[in-house]
A and B are shown apart, each in its own frame.
Chain A
Amino acid sequence: MDWDEEYELIKSGRAVPQAGPSFAARDDDEDNIFNDDNGRASNARQQRTPAPAPAQPDREPDFYPEEAEQNTPLEQLTRHWLNERHAPDILPAQEDLLMNLLDHLRRQSEAVQLLREDPSTSEEEHMRIMLVQTEVERVKFIVRSYVRTRLFKIERYARFIVTNADIQTRLTAAERDHASRHAKLTDQHFYVSVLQGLPEKQSHLDDTPLFVPPMITEPDKSRPVFVHARQRCPRIRLPDGATLDMEKGHISLMPYAIVEELVARGDVELI
């Protein structure tokens, strides 16, 4: 459902926004996945999807159809946020989605501000305004966390990013600028604190001695990730040669490199 639509509903009193059941459910979920074995975790997940229904029995049945719920901008952002947090590599930037959400946030905040200052706003409406504000803060939290996760990875791989054209296409212009500034800054710091004191032959940052990891940190795509299939996936080949067909709802632990494509297509999500 669209934000504006939701807001209209709230305003007209037909729906009371929840202060964010989606996040709470997510938190519990993550605990389950790390503590339990796969089977139970996937049970928990399957139970979770229909869970909101009994909580709001008075809601019209097609009010939040399951499929549509998966595709609200917020749901999309939450998914990208989790993917980004779990993937060792930097995923493509979701610039349009982010800008749309931020626009919505701004418009909502402005509407809230107007309503708050309006003396004819009733007590009940003030209560609803507060809930909307809380939700706005919570969405901002996710956006912030998403942006900062990317920033962390960008700084970590800054020197790799400036030499790799492929990864640059996945960044926004601002992120690219930050990466090149950061790479330069790191080089500069190394130079003044260490390299300038070394003999000329040693004062470079691109040594490639044998049996030593390279000096440029690259994303480690062999890192294992938990994968949750959002739909039936095409057959994938595991490193030992075996193949795996993932049905909807399937959860597996495997190296990131194998599912990279599926994550990019949105067939699976990382959890």
Chain B
Amino acid sequence: MTEARQYGELATQLVTESRRSTQTDTLLKYNDSLVRSLLREQRSLESALSTLLIDGHAPPPALLIIQTAINRNKRCLLAYHAHRTDRLRDMYWAAGGALPHVLGNQETRAKMSPYEVDYLRAYHASVMEFRAEFAYELDITASIVDPPKDLQVLVRVVRDCGMIQTELGVIDFQKGQRFMVRRADIEHLIVQGYLEEV
């Protein structure tokens, strides 16, 4: 079975997944089995390589083919992981830097590998450290999609989010209610899907 396969076929599958993820703009499930079989392929290629190297002889041409396959597979593996971490970081920023919001989503969580969860946690810590530089003046994790046009915004509560400190005092946002509030106070709640602009 393995014999019939061409070098690099698995890696192509992996890269195709990344491309599909970009085209559909979704995070696909981490393909653990494919990554594992690629790692196995790498190990068998490496041992094939070492049997070809015999002391005192000129290296056979097959060596070049195998070496190329090894390099390509490795780059594809790394590209797959780099693409996923890019996506995860995009999701993180789209949620306004709210890590619990990203990790709390069961659907997303199920698609991530345990290493990726660790990665995102460490990334969050790093961003928080950077954010602390500006903490007094502004929150750099807030949205940068549309420049604010109004100070106040009329919002509808989509999900209960409890007591929130605003300019008008503490407001208890309950589902179905509408409020006219200062945008800066509740922007993160809009981003996280608790409130909706009317």
Using a CB–CB distance below 8 Å, which chain A residues touch chain B? 19-20, 23, 102, 105-106, 130, 133-134, 137-138, 140-145, 147-148, 151, 155, 174-175, 177-178, 181-182, 185-186, 188-190, 192-194, 197-199, 201-202, 205, 207, 209, 212, 215
B interface residues, tally (CB under 8 Å): 45
A194 lies within 8 A of B130 (CB) = no
B81 (CB) vs chain A CBs: closest residue? A193
- Sort A-B residue pairs by CB-CB distance and give the 4 closest, nearest first: A197-B39, A199-B46, A102-B137, A145-B144
Residues of B within 8 A of A145 (CB): 144
Q: DSSP class of B's interface residues: helix, strand, loop or mixed?
A: helix
Task: Give B131 Cβ to nearest chain A Cβ, in Å.
Answer: 9
Cα A185 to Cα B75 with chains together (Å): 18
Cα A199 to Cα B66 with chains together (Å): 14
B188 at the A interface (CB under 8 A) = no
Task: Give B85 Cβ to nearest chain A Cβ, in Å.
Answer: 6
Q: B148 contacts which of A106, A138, A182, A190 (Cβ < 8 Å)? A: A138
Task: Give A262 Cβ to nearest chain B Cβ, in Å.
Answer: 27
Q: DSSP class of A's interface residues: helix, strand, loop or mixed?
A: helix
A154 (CB) vs chain B CBs: closest residue? B130
A148 lies within 8 A of B147 (CB) = no
> Given the known A-B contacts A181-B126, A202-B74, A209-B71, are A105 and B150 also in contact in the complex, defined by CB atoms under 8 Å?
no
Cα A206 to Cα B151 with chains together (Å): 50
A177 lies within 8 A of B122 (CB) = no
A182 lies within 8 A of B147 (CB) = no
Interface residues of B in 66-92 (CB under 8 A from A): 68, 70-71, 74-75, 77-78, 81-82, 85, 89
14 A-B pairs (CB sep. < 8 Å): A102-B137, A102-B138, A105-B138, A134-B150, A137-B151, A147-B134, A147-B140, A174-B130, A177-B129, A185-B126, A189-B85, A189-B116, A190-B81, A199-B42
Mask of B113-150 contacts with A, CB within 8 angstroms, 1/0: 10110110011001101100110111110101001111
B78 lies within 8 A of A194 (CB) = yes
